[in-house]
């Protein structure tokens, strides 16, 4: 009887040790995966960038550049020209420069002088600093019909696009969602350029190789969906890409609905060589969330 009990006890102990070992191995594997972007070179087929405003609460420009470099990213974007020297010290660029903001845009002729003045200055800075893209916007509706707003955008952008051409800088018109009203940076109720094809039509009418679309996957998903098909349809007009999880504009994790790896593969399939800016608002540890996003998009 004592022998039987001893044998049974030994088997139970062995099973417990094996289960513990398996659990430890699984934990170690998960930890390795979570830390992979910081410990190994990424493939780099997708040129990844971090959008500074999302992480400004946590990191200054020096720290942001350090993190971007550590994670194998190539850019910190939408940061002022005075920060570009810091980026260069870390081997980084600014993938796209900011400009006049989304509330004031080319859909209203009263705003043209202001927008053009800011864009000319930004184009000059980009030409001098080796930055290839500047963001621009339609502006808010404010009682302007969509047809009139589109006509005004075309006419206004034609007044500055020649200057962009001369300096070899792209103007990237961003489509934004007008549906989410929960947070001032998660959605923009009243924004006129709130559909992909609306913005594409404006771009086509401006008629310049320097006039492009900023394809924000998060905003497109909310308003239009069918992301991969739209990437293929509008491949010739895409100048820059942004990411975020939907709903909530949080991390690119399993709590949101967008399947990012096949979207990144679609960008490679269409021959896209521009940047993908990680533009999510952190809801947890910012480094971990950014690291996970880099690995996820590294197809």
Predicted pLDDT of residue 41:
79
Spans of all domains in the chain:
47-297
The Cα 237–Cα 172 span in angstroms is: 9
Give CA separation, 182 vs 189, 220, 288, in Å. Answer: 10, 17, 25
pTM: 0.87
Catalytic residue among 77, 125, 251, 279: 279
pLDDT of residue 40: 61
**Count of CA atoms in the C-beta half-sphere (13 A) of 120:** 11
Q: Which of 77, 125, 174, 251 is catalytic?
A: 174
Taking domain 47-297, whether its CATH number is 3.20.20.150 is answered by: yes
- Alpha-carbon distance of 131 to 129, in angstroms, equals 6
Q: Answer yes or no: 174 catalytic.
A: yes
Report the C-alpha gap between 150 and 156 in whole angstroms: 10
Per-residue pLDDT of the chain (299 residues; tens, 9 = 90+): 444 434 444 444 444 434 434 333 333 333 344 444 445 678 999 999 999 999 999 999 999 999 999 999 999 999 999 999 999 999 999 999 999 999 999 999 999 999 999 999 999 999 999 999 999 999 999 999 999 999 999 999 999 999 999 999 999 999 999 999 999 999 999 999 999 999 999 999 999 999 999 999 999 999 999 999 999 999 999 999 999 999 999 999 999 999 999 999 999 999 999 999 999 999 999 999 999 999 999 99
197 flagged as catalytic:
no
**pLDDT the model gives residue 67:** 98
């Amino acid at each position: 009887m004592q022998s039987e009990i001893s044998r049974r006890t030994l088997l139970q102990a062995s099973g417990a040790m094996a289960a513990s070992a398996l659990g430890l191995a699984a934990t170690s594997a998960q930890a390795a995966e979570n830390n992979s972007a910081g410990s190994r070179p990424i493939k780099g087929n997708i040129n990844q960038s971090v959008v500074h405003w999302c992480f400004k609460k946590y990191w200054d420009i020096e720290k942001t550049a350090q993190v971007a470099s550590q994670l194998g990213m190539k850019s910190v974007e939408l940061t002022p020209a005075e920060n570009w020297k810091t980026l260069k010290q870390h081997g980084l660029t600014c993938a796209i420069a900011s400009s006049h903001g989304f509330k004031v845009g080319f859909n209203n002729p009263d705003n043209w002088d202001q927008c053009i003045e800011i864009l000319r200055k930004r184009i000059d800075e980009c030409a001098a600093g080796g930055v290839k893209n500047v963001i621009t916007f339609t502006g808010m509706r404010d009682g302007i019909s969509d047809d009139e707003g589109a006509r005004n955008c075309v006419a206004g952008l034609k007044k500055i696009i020649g200057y962009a051409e001369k300096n070899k800088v792209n103007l990237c018109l961003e489509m934004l969602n007008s549906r989410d009203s929960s947070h001032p940076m998660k959605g923009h109720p009243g924004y006129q350029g709130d559909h992909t094809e609306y913005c594409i039509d404006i771009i086509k009418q401006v008629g310049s190789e320097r006039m492009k679309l900023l394809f924000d996957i998060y905003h497109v998903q909310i308003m239009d969906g069918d992301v991969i098909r739209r990437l293929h349809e509008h491949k010739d007009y895409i100048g820059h890409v942004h990411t975020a999880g939907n709903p909530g504009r949080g991390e690119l994790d399993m709590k949101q609905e967008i399947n990012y790896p096949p979207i990144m593969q679609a960008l490679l399939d269409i021959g896209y060589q521009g940047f993908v800016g990680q533009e999510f608002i952190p809801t947890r540890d910012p480094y971990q969330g950014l690291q996970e996003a880099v690995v996820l998009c590294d197809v």
